[in-house]
Amino acid sequence: MDRILVLNEKFACTMGLAVFIGVPGATHDHAHWTHQIAIDMDGHDVECFCDGQWIRSIGVFVPAGHPHRVDSGRQINLFFDASVDWIDEVFGGALDTSCGRVLDRDTLQGIQSCFYEGIDIETGMSVFAEAFELKRQNMVNPNIERRWEEVLRKVQAIQKDQGDKTDPEYSKLGALFMTSIDPH
């Protein structure tokens, strides 16, 4: 497995996968170049507006490139490369990336078990990657590989800039995964 870069107890990333644990900052309409999974940490529904409809569940999936907004609350947010080849296994079948959806129970519980309250983020990230056999198709798409290398470089720069601060500017972290939204 690639090296895991830990910014603090709330954010870590490796090639093809990033996790943020906490209250997300972007509650306005936005899109990511990565897929996103949001899971509420307090057992409440995540309220996500995606593809013209509200999706309400403890865990939701938002496909890469789809404009959405997620109401704030304490969440586990996973951002992962749309080309990783384990996604079908995680969701128990073929993943319909045409729209946002509620996470199935097995996927929800599997992710929760990796990032349960009190576990350090690096261990959780390692367990997640191992449990779901994180594999990247880096030979297939060098552009995606370069994009993740850039994410890791920027996280290292944020890490260097933050010094002793325990809470970095999360808007900078969120911007790593943002993409432009087509107004039409």
On whether the CB atoms of residues 49 and 68 are closer than 8 A, the answer is yes
Q: For the whole model, what pTM was predicted? A: 0.81
**Range list of H helices, 2-141:** 87-90, 105-114, 121-131
In this prediction, residue 68 carries a pLDDT of 93
In this prediction, residue 56 carries a pLDDT of 95
In this prediction, residue 53 carries a pLDDT of 93
| Chain centroid to CA 99 | 16
In this prediction, residue 81 carries a pLDDT of 79
Low-confidence residues of the chain: pLDDT under 70: 1-2, 25, 84-96, 130-140, 163-171, 180-184
In this prediction, residue 146 carries a pLDDT of 84
- Residue 155: which of 12, 3, 10 has the closest Cα? 12
